[in-house]
Each structure stands twice: as C-alpha cells, then as structure tokens.
Structure 1
Amino acid sequence: MSAADEQEQPVSTTQPAAGEHLLEVSGLTKHFPIRRGIVFQRQIGAVHAVDGIDFTVGAGQSLGLVGESGCGKSTTGRLITRLLEPTAGKVVFDGEDITHTPENRMKEARRNLQMIFQDPYSSLNPRHTVGTIVETPMRLNDINPPQGHKKRAQELLETVGLNPEHYNRYPNEFSGGQRQRIGIARALALRPKLIVADEPVSALDVSIQAQIVNLLQDLQRELGIAFVFIAHDLAVVRHFCERVAVMYLGKIVEVADRQTLYTGPRHPYTHALLSAVPEADPDAVHRRERIRLAGDVPSPVDPPSGCRFRTRCWKAQERCATEEPPLVRLGGNAEGHLTACHFPEEPSVEARAEDIVLDPALTTLEDNASAAS
C-alpha cells in the first residue's frame, strides 16, 4: 500500500489519554488583525498565529509543544490560559468550557490553571519583594493558609530550592535561574492542576536548564500537576514530556507519545527536526542523514494553500497544494500517533532510541548511575 493510499484510510482521530482529560482544545484559532490608517482604520489582513488545532492533556500528564520560532506555540499557551482571546475554537478545562468565560469568572478557573513565563527578568515586578510576589496570588484569591501567608510563601521558596530567608529580597538580587524558581513558586501558590510552561528554560544557561527541568519533573511527580510544556529544544522536551505535539505555522502536524515520536516520526517536518538531535554514538552520525530544510518559514500573514509545509518539503506533490491533510491516525501508526501528511515517512524506525540523547547537562544522577553500571 502506498503512502497516499495509507492516508485515505485513517483509523481514528481520537487521542487517548491516561485518565480523565483535564484539558481539551478543539479547533483553537487566533488571527491577529492587520490594520491600516490613522483616524479611520480598516483591516487589510491577518496574522494566522494559530489556525485550528486540537489536543488533550490528561490529569497529571505532560504534553510538549515543539516547533520553530513563530509557529504559534506561545500564542497557544496564552490562549489556553485566556491571556489572549481566541478567534474561534473551544478550550475546556476541568470539565468547564472557559473559551468565553467573563474575566470576573475566570478567577476561579485560574486557581487551577497557572503559567510560567519565558523571561524570568520581565515576568517579576522589580518593585515587589519575593515574598509579595509569591503571596499575591493567594491574597487575590482570598486563600488564607492556616500558617499564614508569609509562612506558606517561605515553604514554597524552600520547595523550589531557594532559601526561605530570601522572602524580603527583590528580584534584582537574584540570577536568572533563581528568578525562574521564584516564578515557579508563584505558579504553585494556588496548588494548580495544570501549569502552562512557556519555554521556561530557553533564557537560562544549559547547566541551570537542567536544574529547572529536573525541579519541574520532581514537582509533577510529587504534586500530580499536569503540564503543557512549550519549547523548541527537542532534548528538553524528550526529558520532560510524556507526549509531544509538533507545530508548524499555526498547525499541529504530528502528535505521539515520546518514544514513538522520537524513534518513528511520520511527518517530514518532524523527521527533519529529529535529524538534528545530538547522538550518543559518533558512528550513528553516518547512519542518519542530516536533513536541511530549504528556504524560510512562510509568512503567517499569507500561509501556503493545502499543506503549509509543502514549500519546504522534499516529498511535496500537486495534491499537497490543493488539499490540506487532516490530522489522523495512519495505518501502521501506534495508538494515539496522529499525523497530518499526504505522503508520510515509512513507519520503519531509522533511529534507535539509544541514538537520541539529551545534552549531558540534562542527565540526572540516576541516569549517570545507570550508565556507570
């Protein structure tokens, strides 16, 4: 059966989740209008930042959103948390549709839906002490811990690896990694069920990245928090996330569990991204060809017709320009492995799991011990 015939026979479009779906996103769209004029403005176009995406996150699960800069990852995170209003689509969180919930009623939802921002320098108010920053969510939501706000804030600082005595210090007295820990403590203050982490380590040194990722992993394991982890670093995502969704120009092109995606990608774009991931064995470089994409990412103001990746894809044919491929489970795919491509890669595994490694700084002590034995 050819790849084209395979696309004609989707098995299922349902994404499985281990447990209840805490977050359900369907048809989520965000277009930013482009206007011209000073006094009388008129819309002359729109930036298609996010263009009809679907995914789910189960309670306690972690989903990674990956892709090149400008593909719509961060916009998706802000739509989920309602920091941006969607143009279309639906966001259901903890069984409640929050897509158009009035701002005065979003207060209750945000107790369980928090965000960690990318830049630890601009996301903290420089005029407030660390204690005030961590306490503010509790005060705004009328949460009064039995031990008091100060004691609870100090406990949270200790949880994220900071000294409780830092309570009265200001953000400018801390390094980037320490500031990100403060942001994590603030996100934990309301004991959320889901945290959207928008590239939480991209602005940090590699060694500090490892500490923050391992901290988030420990918190997820201990507190059962679900994560939508936004990143462009595939090594970090593989270390942290159970499932991975690959985005390109506002669309999700492939979704699968971590092991399946990293060892058997079906979409050409995913295949190209993974071809650049570092390998443990130098000889493995000769077993896997580095795929270099031609051209630049098209403008989201005027995205290509049909498949948006076709202008850079080495497998594109006439059908790709006229028909947009749906995100479906192809024949030969594992359960929950969805791909949007008319001519997908063969399901054979070209890269072994052990060939794909993380940056050494992201290796935990347990991994080191295993390697030594």
Structure 2
Amino acid sequence: MSDTTPLLDVSGLTKHFPIKGGFPIRRTIGAVQAVDGLDFQVGQGESLGLVGESGCGKSTTGRLITRLLEPTAGKISYRGQDITHADRKKLAPVRSEIQMIFQDPYASLNPRHTVGKIISAPMEINGIDPAGGREKRVRELLETVGLNPEHYNRFPHEFSGGQRQRIGVARALALEPKLIVADEPVSALDVSIQAQVVNLLQELQRELDIAFVFIAHDLAVVRHFSQRVAVMYLGRIVEIADRADLYGGPRHPYTKALLSAVPEPSADDAAPAVERIRLTGDVPSPVNPPSGCRFRTRCWKATEICSTQAPPLVRIEGNREGHLTACHHPEEPATATVPAARKAL
C-alpha cells in the first residue's frame, strides 16, 4: 500500500432493507433507505467520527464497513483491495485487521464464557498461536486495557459496565487490527466511566497506530476523540471536515443546529448566551425520504431548489481543503460561529 492510498475508501455506499408485504405471496413493496450513497476515506492511524440523530444510519454504516452486512450498492476498499462483495475466503485475511467494539457491553459478551475464553476466541478462530501461548497474550491484553490479569477466569457478570467494555476492547485488540469500528462504545456507560473508556481508546490509538471509525451521538465525546468528523442525516453525509473546522465554522444548517445544542461552559459571565436552534418536525421516514435535500423539511433556509435537486457533497467557497458540505444555501463562514447569528425556529 502506497503512502497516498487510504486505509479505508468508501464510495457510493448504499444499504436498502427490503420491506415485504402482500398476501398470499410476500413480495417487496418498498425499502428502508438506511444508508444512501456515502463517500469518505480513513487514513492509517486516523480517527473519523460519525455523528447524527438516532436512525440516521451510523450503526448500519459501521456494520457495512466490517462486512457484517452486505451492501446494496457502492464500493468498500481496504488497503486498495475491493472487499464490497468478497466471499468468506477472500475476507479471511482482512477480518483480523478490521474489528468492532459494540455499543452494549452487557449483550456483546457471552455470559457462559470466561473472560479468557472471550478474548482468546478470535485467536482460536483465526488459528493464531502467539509466542508464549494464548493465555499469556490474553493476560497482557487485560493489563493493556486496565484490568487485572487475574481476571482471566472470571465471568462477565462479575464486572461493571465499564469493565465489560474494556473486555470488549481487549477482544478487539486480540488480532492486532489496523482499523476498529467503535459503535457508540460509551453511550451505555455512566458519565463518570465514559471519559475513562474514551481516554483508553485514544491512548491505544496513539500507541498502536490504529485507525478508528468512532460512531456516536455525543458531539462532545466525538470532539475529544476524532480528528475528522462526518455528520449524517437520514442516510447521507451532509458535512465532513477536520474537527477544528467543523466545530469552529459549521457550514451546513443541520450541523449548526446540532452544535447549538451542545452545552458550552464558560467562566466569563459577560459572554453572550448561545441561542439554541430548535428544529421543527420529526425526522422523515427512511422508507419515503424527501426529494432533493433530505433536510429541507426541517431547514429554515430551504427554497425551491432544495426540493428538486439533491445538493452534492463538495468543497464550497470559503471552506478549507477537505471540508465538504452538501447544501444549496450554506452558512456564511464569517458568521457560522457567532452565537448572535443563530436563529431559534
């Protein structure tokens, strides 16, 4: 792989879940457009955050990347190799390099297996025998994620939620992956534990040079962890940029609305209050999304063109290289971060 080739390259990624109906013959009568044409890249050792409201397709995207789901259309390239529709034999060498950390630490661990069995399972499945044996490797991984190596023979029910998620992290590290998809890894944990797990993942990323696709709805957590951030709405990416550019100068109205809801503590009593943008209406159904721009039904800047033409995800005037926005009427860069310019709907 050359220096210019991204570790992960996703182009036009689409996943539609068919809706069956009719009697007596069950036929396809529609489709849930969970993911609809995503384009993004992840470099070696880079962390990309995926944010958006519940139901926007973040978790489905993560499962498509790891090939736990079969894409309807599009292309997934890993280290220059097309793995979009690769069979089990072709995926075998890639499986060990792409791992996943699941959202619920209570459901993702087998309650009948010991911690040692859970973490060593990936090595057994892939026929890997590390130097010193699997048990030694598991104990090393437990220590790496901040757990006691003596916990090797314990069962999941003997651990707290934060400790269980650390076990899940150790399992993901067992095969020395190059890419980890973390699907809301801290959303099921207490706030007091979230920072510990996020800091652990950040430390592992730096030390082991692992790339992350970090899926979350908490913008504060994503800002802390991710180098680049992609904002999703109803199955599509509406804005993607470097962390500083996106948080400092959002250009898409939806991104701006999301950021306006993030509490910003300030020691300066004289600082102007940030007015929150309150979006009207509910998120449209992915079964029948709006024509043109999918955000137009809730956008205060929508015009006729928004209903007839879907805005492409491109670099617009005033954006830095790599800052892409899908909007016909983007926010002005000079006023995007001024609290007084925010409008409550």
TM-score, normalisation: structure 2: 0.95
Residue 143 of structure 2 corresponds to 158
Contact 1:112 1:192 in 2 (8 A): yes
Alignment of 1:92-241 (within 5 A): 92-241=77-226
Give a deviation string over 1:225-259, Cα, whole Å, max 9, x none.
00000000000000000000000000000000000
How far apart in 2 are the matches of 1:20 and 1:239? Answer: 26
Residue 327 of structure 2 corresponds to 341
Alignment size in residue pairs: 336
Contact 1:34 1:47 in 2 (8 A): yes
1:27 matches 2:12: yes
Residues 255, 126 of structure 1: alpha-carbon distance in 2 compared, 3 angstrom cutoff: same
1:60 matches 2:53: no
Which of 34, 41, 48 in structure 1 is aligned with 2:26?
41
Structure 1 runs not aligned, ≥5 long: 1-17, 354-373
How far apart in 2 are the matches of 1:19 and 1:164? Answer: 40
Alignment of 1:292-331 (within 5 A): 292-331=278-317
RMSD over equivalenced CA pairs, Å? 1.5
Question: Which region of structure 1 is more displaced relative to structure 2, 295-304 or 139-148?
Answer: 139-148
Residue 342 of structure 2 corresponds to none
Contact 1:69 1:232 in 2 (8 A): yes
Residue 271 of structure 1 corresponds to 256
Structure 2 runs not aligned, ≥5 long: 340-345
Give a deviation string over 1:76-125, Cα, whole Å, max 9, x none.
00000000000000000111110010023312111100000000011111
Structure 1 residue 284 displacement after superposition: 7.5
Contact 1:288 1:350 in 2 (8 A): no
Give the residue type in structure 2 aligned to 1:214: N
Give the residue type in structure 2 aligned to 1:245: A
Residue 337 of structure 2 corresponds to 351
The higher relative CO (CA closer than 8 Å, separation ≥ 6) is in 1
Which of 223, 235, 238 in structure 2 is aligned with 1:253?
238
How far apart in 2 are the matches of 1:244 and 1:352? Answer: 21
Give a deviation string over 1:255-312, Cα, whole Å, max 9, x none.
0000000010000000000001111226477343210000000000000000000000
Give the residue type in structure 2 aligned to 1:113: I
Give a deviation string over 1:300-344, Cα, whole Å, max 9, x none.
000000000000000000110000000000011011000000000
Question: Which region of structure 1 is more displaced relative to structure 2, 47-56 or 33-42?
Answer: 33-42
Contact 2:51 2:217 in 1 (8 A): yes
